[in-house]
Amino acid sequence: MEQHLSVADMAMLTAGATMWTTAAVPAADIASLSMADGPMGVAGARVDERDVSLLTPAPMALGASWDPALVQQVGQLVGGEAIRRGVDLMLAPNLNLARSPLAGRAFEYFSEDPLLCGQLGAAWIAGCQSTGTGAVAKHLVCNDSETARDQMNAVVDERTLREVYLLPFELAAEARCAGMLTAYNKVNGSWCAEAAPVVTAIAKNEWGFPGVFMSDWFGTHSTVGSLQGGLDLEMPGPARFLGAHSAAAVEQGAVPAARLADAAARVAKTARRFGGAKGTPMNDSAAADLLVQAAAAGFTLVRNEGGILPLDPARCPRIAVIGPNASAPCFQGGTFAKIAVKPDAVLPIEALRQRFGAAITGYTPGVDPQPKLPRMAARPARDLGDGCVRGMTIDYFDNQDCDGAPLVSETRDTNSLTWFHGVHEAGALQRDAATRASGSYTASDTGGHLFYVGGTGALRLLVDGQEVFRRDEQLAPGDVMGRLKSGDADSVTVQLAAGQTVAVVAELRYAAARCQGLWYGVRGPGSAQSMMAQAVAAAQQADAVILMVGETSDASVESKDRPDTHLPSEQIALIEQVCAANPNTVIVTNVGHAFDTRWEGMAQAVLHCWYPGQEFGAALAQVLAGDREPGGRLPVTIAAADADYPALSLQPDANGDLHYSDGVRVGYRGLAANGVAPRQAFGAGFGYASFELDAPQLHEMADGWEVTVKLRNTSLRAGAEVVQVYRDQPELTLVGFAKATLAAGEEQELRIAIAARRMQVWDGGWTGVAGPVRLLVGRSSIDLPFTITI
């Protein structure tokens, strides 16, 4: 308890000081902590492409590794990067679950399974905090979808809540994470920032978790409700409901003084724990090696007919590379935690050319690599003396007419601008204002050019001084966040001649709001038919094809779920025509979640790469060449049909309720209970090495059981295998796993701990599963050849 602090000081500690910092009380040795968003790295406070930071594989890709030791190293890398960026607390890891393949942020989740998610999350926390950087697990709880996330009410029964959605957070608490971030949504009728049954009754009292509970940004709704619900810290600052309001609530008798003291003590303890000495960031070479290793460890090979992989130029001297994601890869998804990637990140096509040399006969995308919002290759309207010769000149005005001298001007080499009140230098966000982007664009071809513009307010687009588009609608402040990340844009066609240079101006007028955004682009004339024809011709002339398909970063976004599970229709057509032209096709998918793969049988090989971070190119080239193993196993189930998913729709009902009607039978559990075979099973996948398992043995331990199993590498090369243990009652449930890397011919005994809790269910209390219970051991949720009965 911080009894030596005044009520005013304790109240001050319950609210952030700024957008990304906590308040300080130097006299009491309580430092201000700086925070940054995660989990794929250290996101810049300005959401700015110039704030370059290391980009790790997305959690879904790390989940595919099934490797806690590796994930711990990645957490350590991020913790060190936070030190380099002057950050004390990372808002990561994300411990929500991929309940539905439509979830907009599924790429940020480790898995559909709570144990896999929780153990990998705990490993990430341990790695991050080993550097002296705190990890704040998010989003507590049931923020497993984005549709109406700041309004919807997750309706979930007690057993499901505890066994599934709280389990990852319980494991994070055991890992002594710095704190937990409460979600925007409601759970069983209470805002998560006011959910005393979860925060106070379970996390604080039952788990005995001593860390700080903070709101997601702008996620508070009241003073008394937040404090009585167990919230300790409102973010961001300045205070909206807590801070000085906390002191007033105590003085009025609405909140006990002890509750305020507890909140202040938790903030103070976190500040003392993570506001001091730090470790040393990882050097650049070690970081690059780890990011290649981590990407490859998540690559999941689900098909390899005829052993086409690894590709051997002696067998396939002419290899064509086709597909949009070879030149425009999706390194990450489109959240507010998006990382500014180093500009020299090696693209997959570049890495493939470096590794395979003359065997790569050519590259064609086949379809448009930027189907939603293409970039604009522009030059600034004027020289600001910053040495920038690419991009647009951005002027910020304190009025909606763009009159007078701008408050701030800058050159930005991006087609998507985002800025927050209190963070960006413009500082004009809390009143009517405007932003103007201007530059020049030179057409490379003659014909109709589509100019795009989108934003969070009223818009105007001018080409060579002529207004070609105008929308005067201005959004209410509550609508801004959804529009900001949707990436939706309007377009207009302008006829240009090859070599013609035109002045382009995009203007955004907006009312007061906590964040704003403006985005724009241009698409030159081109024929979809000719691109497809070039791809088919390239496939016909090659001995083998590497076909890279997938998503762009605006396919997985914050505040928006997906409408379906399919790849874009033009990419499916590309798969069909390329595979028909050349059956020796290796399909590489760059998708961050479960999706429809009914076309998989058309290709010789299918490799899922998820969102693999900045070293995608190097990792892919090494895996396709056989220099590294594809080490991944599916962290989610890929169903044969959408109707097979236990949960698909994420649309709340008319009352705002989203019913978790699948209960504990989420993902693979539900398919197994319904007797439905998946297209690709949870835990499935293989590398280039082959393995044998001997019959497992069970040993009773003081705190549970241990399964031992001998694993043997029967191939002539090193490789990795994942051994998985499930219980069969009351539904198929993962209870333990181990990953091992073995040299050619090596044998190793794996020891897989099964904690007593893994054999319990919630029935008003934790009770053992009614026996006899079978433990099923094998390589996936449907490949379980060994049985042990307890």
**Residues 417, 506: one domain?**
yes
**Residues 235, 135: one domain?**
yes
Cβ–Cβ under 8 Å, residues 718 and 741: yes
Mean pLDDT of the chain: 95
In terms of C-beta density within 10 A (0-12 exposed, 13-18 middle, 19 or more buried), how is residue 86 classed? exposed
Angle between helices 68-84 and 284-298 (to 10 degrees): 140
* Beta strands, E only, 482-619: 490-496, 501-510, 515-523, 544-550, 585-590, 605-608
d(CA 197, CA 161): 11
- Is there a domain that residue 668 lies in? no
**Residues 238, 119: one domain?**
yes
Question: Alpha carbon of 334 to those of 85, 374, 554, 777: distances in Å?
Answer: 21, 15, 5, 38
Q: Please report where in the chains the tokens 């969070």 appear, as a residue.
A: 456
Mean pLDDT value across residues 46-75: 94
Q: Say what the pLDDT of residue 446 is.
A: 96
- Is there a domain that residue 167 lies in? yes
Q: Say what the pLDDT of residue 404 is.
A: 92
Q: Please report where in the chains the tokens 């319950």 appear, as a residue.
A: 14
Residue 1: pLDDT over 60: no
Q: Say what the pLDDT of residue 516 is.
A: 87
**Residues 704, 607: one domain?**
no
Cβ–Cβ under 8 Å, residues 723 and 742: no
Q: Are strands 704-713 and 605-608 parallel, antiparallel or unpaired?
A: unpaired
Residue 722: pLDDT over 80: yes
- Is there a domain that residue 669 lies in? no
Q: Say what the pLDDT of residue 223 is.
A: 98
- Is there a domain that residue 678 lies in? no
Q: What percent of the chain has pLDDT over 70?
A: 97
CATH number of the domain where residue 757 is located: 2.60.40.10
d(CA 458, CA 601): 48
Q: Which two tokens stand for residue 414?
A: 């991006």
**Residues 309, 403: one domain?**
no
d(CA 528, CA 525): 10
The residue type found at 500 is: Q
d(CA 47, CA 30): 28
Q: Which two tokens stand for residue 223?
A: 């003073």
Residue 477: pLDDT over 70: no
Nearest to 530 by CA among 415, 443, 445, 441: 445
Q: Of 488, 523, 558, which closes a domain?
A: 523
Nearest to 5 by CA among 271, 217, 230: 271
Q: Which two tokens stand for residue 134?
A: 């705190």
pLDDT in tens, 328-363: 999 998 887 789 899 899 999 999 999 999 999 999
368 contact partners, CB below 8 Å, separation of at least 6: 324, 374, 523, 526, 528, 531, 570
**Residues 86, 118: one domain?**
yes
CATH number of the domain where residue 183 is located: 3.20.20.300
Q: Which two tokens stand for residue 54?
A: 């290391």
- Is there a domain that residue 352 lies in? yes
**Residues 565, 500: one domain?**
no
Cβ–Cβ under 8 Å, residues 8 and 240: no
Q: Say what the pLDDT of residue 771 is.
A: 83
pLDDT in tens, 186-245: 999 999 999 999 999 999 999 999 999 999 999 999 999 999 999 999 999 999 999 999
- Is there a domain that residue 680 lies in? no
Highest mean pLDDT among 73-77, 374-378, 422-426: 73-77
**Residues 499, 416: one domain?**
yes
Nearest to 163 by CA among 662, 726, 761, 669: 761
Q: Of 480, 505, 523, which closes a domain?
A: 523
Domain of 781, in residue numbers? 689-789
Q: Please report where in the chains the tokens 């269910």 appear, as a residue.
A: 761
Q: Say what the pLDDT of residue 3 is.
A: 58
**Residues 754, 698: one domain?**
yes
**Residues 533, 385: one domain?**
no
d(CA 632, CA 145): 25
Nearest to 507 by CA among 431, 455, 450: 455
- Is there a domain that residue 414 lies in? yes
d(CA 443, CA 465): 17
Q: Say what the pLDDT of residue 582 is.
A: 98
**Residues 543, 615: one domain?**
yes
- Is there a domain that residue 366 lies in? no
Neighbours of 649 (CB within 10 A): 13
d(CA 244, CA 246): 5
Cβ–Cβ under 8 Å, residues 667 and 698: no
The residue type found at 236 is: P
Model confidence band, residue 638 (pLDDT cutoffs 50, 70, 90): very high
Cα dihedral value 50, 55, 58, 61, nearest 10: 150
Range in 170-174, 429-433, 527-531 the model is least confident about: 429-433
**Residues 84, 199: one domain?**
yes
Nearest to 53 by CA among 387, 338, 445: 338
Model confidence band, residue 46 (pLDDT cutoffs 50, 70, 90): confident
Of residues 216, 262, 596, 662, which has the active-site annotation? 216
Q: Say what the pLDDT of residue 756 is.
A: 96
pLDDT in tens, 143-158: 999 999 999 999 999 9
* Helix ranges restricted to H, 166-228: 167-174, 196-198, 224-228
Residue 311 backbone class (left: φ over 0; alpha: ψ -120 to 50; beta: rest): beta
Model confidence band, residue 482 (pLDDT cutoffs 50, 70, 90): low
d(CA 10, CA 170): 28
Concerning whether 216 is annotated as a catalytic residue, the answer is: yes
pLDDT in tens, 507-561: 999 988 878 889 999 999 988 899 999 999 999 999 999 999 999 987 888 888 9
Model confidence band, residue 51 (pLDDT cutoffs 50, 70, 90): confident
DSSP 592: S
253 contact partners, CB below 8 Å, separation of at least 6: none
Question: Alpha carbon of 358 to those of 352, 537, 541, 578: distances in Å?
Answer: 10, 18, 15, 21
Element (H, E) at 633: none
pLDDT in tens, 88-126: 999 999 999 999 999 999 999 999 999 999 999 999 999
Q: Of 230, 250, 274, which closes a domain?
A: 274
14 contact partners, CB below 8 Å, separation of at least 6: 227, 232, 233, 234, 239, 242, 243, 246, 260, 263, 264, 267
CATH number of the domain where residue 444 is located: 2.60.120.260
Nearest to 313 by CA among 363, 349, 359: 359
pLDDT in tens, 3-16: 589 999 999 999 99
d(CA 37, CA 41): 8
Q: Which two tokens stand for residue 25?
A: 């009380």
* Beta strands, E only, 540-676: 544-550, 585-590, 605-608, 657-659
CA angle 333, 336, 339 (to 5 degrees): 60
Cβ–Cβ under 8 Å, residues 14 and 267: yes
Nearest to 200 by CA among 222, 109, 190, 137: 190
The count of structural domains within the chain is 4
Mean pLDDT value across residues 442-462: 95
What is the radius of gyration, based on Cα positions, of the chain? 27
Q: What percent of the chain has pLDDT over 90?
A: 88
Range in 63-77, 368-382, 648-662 the model is least confident about: 368-382
Residue 776, phi then psi, degrees to nearest 5: -110, 130
Residue 693: pLDDT over 80: yes
Cα dihedral value 717, 720, 725, 726, nearest 10: -110
- Choose between 657 and 483: higher pLDDT: 657
Residue 486: pLDDT over 70: no
DSSP 183: P
Q: Are strands 179-182 and 774-778 parallel, antiparallel or unpaired?
A: unpaired
The residue type found at 271 is: A
pLDDT in tens, 249-265: 999 999 999 999 999 99
Q: Which two tokens stand for residue 163?
A: 């066994």
Angle between helices 114-129 and 167-174 (to 10 degrees): 30
CATH number of the domain where residue 596 is located: 3.40.50.1700
d(CA 647, CA 146): 14
